[in-house]
């Protein structure tokens, strides 16, 4: 699979091939070499494998996906250039995208072009299709999983219960940590407001880079702040560095990570420094015994014929994203041509929707023309990395309210 992905990474925007007219052209933007590549690689592999699997099993209405994985290295200008090529030359019907900066920058454009954009950005800013409560309407943006804002709200719910369970005195202190960047910033205000609502003392944010580095200075600031709960808004690569730096200086705060902030391989790399960390998960894990994992393991064999590679949670969420798109296209095909508007309309036809074959893997999700929060269920997992086998266990589930004022936030 790495050879395939690296081949995709070598593609330049100008070298993208003209896709076959009898297929279904779909764009695939991935970060394989940029600042978020630690999680971008497994997610990109999941997208590619899922589309190849569908092609090998009849496609969609007898047509195969025509796609190339393009590594835009988490650079917005490259994403914009790639998008122009995908829409002008290849006439894509839908796009599987990646980051928050580029996805939010393209929101108005994909709406104008009427191209459903299934991103790996779970920014709450993408959930208000009509622009009723937010500054920007996002009618063609979809993502699978809880928004970053709802994910953080779920963690704050857990933290409130944890503080009470521990017999904490007075207000617990909460702090947001992450890069000064659209992705880590996406849930900052929304989650901070909810933390205050639940009785937390919200401290001044602490910034640390999306790129791994020595973060002892930030860890000393965290220690001096007296924070009890620290929300880590970056991806796992830089989070591992932060955890190790904070272990070195003796930070005792409870770390809470967003959906990209930790995964199975990162637990091994972080070792003892990650023990006890909690973070959000939005699909089954590789070792879960659920009916749909049989299909996930078959899909995984597209790039791992031996079937022995344990895929991280990001790979599995990617499979969910592709299969929601696939079933929307199948529904569109029953009524006529598979077009962007038809796929968008099909996304609204099911409630508590789990793609066929992925039962127990993807969370039941519902999108409507007035609310693109597919699910507001937040599963909180905790890491165990000391005293034996490395693992992760679900310890809490939150069902976040669908407050109207939280739409698009």
Instruction: Return d(Cα 262, Cα 361) in angstroms, integer.
Output: 19
pTM across the whole model: 0.94
Q: Report if residue 205 sits inside a domain.
A: yes
Give the pLDDT confidence score for residue 8 in this predicted structure: 37
- Domain identity same for 130 and 8: yes
- Domain identity same for 78 and 157: no
The number of domains in the chain is 2
Instruction: Return d(Cα 22, Cα 113) in angstroms, integer.
Output: 21
- Domain identity same for 164 and 263: yes
- Domain identity same for 269 and 399: yes
- Indicate if the pLDDT at residue 116 is higher than 90: yes
> What CATH number is given to the structural domain containing 32?
3.40.50.2300
Using 50, 70 and 90 to split pLDDT, how confident is the model at 267?
A: very high
- Domain identity same for 141 and 164: no
- Domain identity same for 244 and 338: no
CA quadruple 199, 205, 210, 213: dihedral sign: negative
Q: Report if residue 239 sits inside a domain.
A: yes
Tell me the mean pLDDT in the region 319-347. 98
Question: 71-98 burial by CB neighbour count: b if 16+ within 10 A, else e?
Answer: bbbbbbebbebbbebbbeebebbbbbbb
CB-based contact 31:37 (threshold 8 Å) = yes
Report which secondary-structure segment, H or E, holds 25. strand 24-30
pLDDT tens-digit readout, 50-108: 999 999 999 999 999 999 999 999 999 999 999 999 999 999 999 999 999 999 999 99
pLDDT tens-digit readout, 197-225: 999 999 999 999 999 999 999 999 999 99
Domain boundary among 327, 346, 365: 346
Q: Report if residue 357 sits inside a domain.
A: no
Tell me the mean pLDDT in the region 287-297. 97
pLDDT tens-digit readout, 147-190: 999 999 999 999 999 999 999 999 999 999 999 999 999 999 99
pLDDT tens-digit readout, 2-54: 333 333 333 333 334 333 458 999 999 999 999 999 999 999 999 999 999 99
Q: Report if residue 307 sits inside a domain.
A: yes
Neighbours of 338 (CB within 10 A): 20
- Domain identity same for 22 and 93: yes
Give the pLDDT confidence score for residue 129 in this predicted structure: 97
Give the pLDDT confidence score for residue 337 in this predicted structure: 96
Give the pLDDT confidence score for residue 21 in this predicted structure: 53
Using 50, 70 and 90 to split pLDDT, how confident is the model at 135?
A: confident
- Crossing angle for the helix pair 313-335 and 293-300, to the nearest 10 degrees: 100
- Domain identity same for 52 and 22: yes
- Domain identity same for 204 and 319: no
- Indicate if the pLDDT at residue 143 is higher than 60: yes
- Domain identity same for 320 and 392: no
- Domain identity same for 387 and 258: yes
Give the pLDDT confidence score for residue 134 in this predicted structure: 75
- Domain identity same for 172 and 276: yes
Q: Report if residue 354 sits inside a domain.
A: no
Q: Which residues contact 210 (CB under 8 A, 6 or more apart)?
A: 35, 36, 179, 181, 183, 184, 234, 235, 237, 238
Domain range enclosing 167:
148-285+376-406
């Amino acid at each position: 699979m790495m050879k395939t992905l690296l081949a995709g990474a070598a593609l330049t925007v100008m070298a993208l091939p003209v896709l076959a007219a009898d297929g279904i052209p779909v764009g695939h933007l991935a970060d394989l070499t940029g600042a978020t590549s630690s999680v971008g690689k497994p997610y990109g592999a999941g997208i590619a494998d899922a589309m190849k699997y569908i092609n090998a099993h009849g496609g969609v209405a007898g047509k195969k996906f025509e796609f190339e994985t393009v590594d835009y290295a988490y650079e917005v200008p490259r994403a914009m250039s790639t998008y122009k090529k995908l829409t002008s030359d290849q006439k894509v019907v839908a796009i599987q995208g990646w980051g928050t900066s580029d996805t939010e920058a393209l929101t108005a454009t994909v709406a104008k072009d009427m191209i459903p954009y299934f991103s790996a950005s779970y920014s709450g800013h993408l959930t208000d299709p009509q622009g009723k409560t937010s500054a920007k309407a996002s009618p063609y943006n979809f993502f699978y999983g809880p928004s970053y804002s709802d994910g953080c709200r779920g963690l704050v719910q857990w933290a409130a219960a944890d503080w009470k369970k521990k017999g904490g005195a007075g207000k617990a202190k909460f702090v947001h940590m992450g890069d000064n960047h659209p992705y880590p910033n996406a849930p900052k205000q929304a989650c901070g407001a909810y933390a205050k609502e639940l009785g937390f003392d919200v401290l001044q944010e602490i910034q640390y880079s999306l790129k791994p580095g020595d973060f002892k200075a930030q860890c000393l600031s965290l220690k001096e702040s007296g924070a009890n709960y620290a929300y880590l808004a970056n991806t796992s690569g830089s989070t591992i560095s932060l955890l190790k730096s904070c272990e070195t200086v003796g930070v005792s705060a409870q770390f809470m990570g967003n959906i990209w902030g930790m995964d199975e391989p990162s637990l091994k790399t972080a070792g003892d420094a990650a023990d006890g960390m909690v973070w959000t998960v939005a699909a089954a894990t590789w070792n879960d015994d659920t009916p749909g994992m049989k299909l996930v393991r078959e899909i995984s064999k597209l790039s791992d014929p031996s079937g022995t590679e344990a895929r991280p949670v990001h790979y599995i969420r990617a499979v969910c994203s592709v299969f929601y798109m696939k079933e929307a296209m199948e529904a569109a095909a029953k009524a006529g041509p598979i077009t962007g508007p038809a796929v968008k309309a099909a996304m609204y036809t099911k409630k508590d929707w789990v793609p066929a074959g992925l039962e127990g893997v993807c969370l039941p999700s519902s999108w409507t023309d007035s609310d693109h929060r597919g699910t507001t269920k937040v599963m909180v997992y905790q890491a165990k990395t000391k005293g034996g086998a490395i693992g992760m266990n679900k310890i809490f589930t939150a069902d976040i309210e669908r407050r109207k004022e939280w739409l698009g936030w």
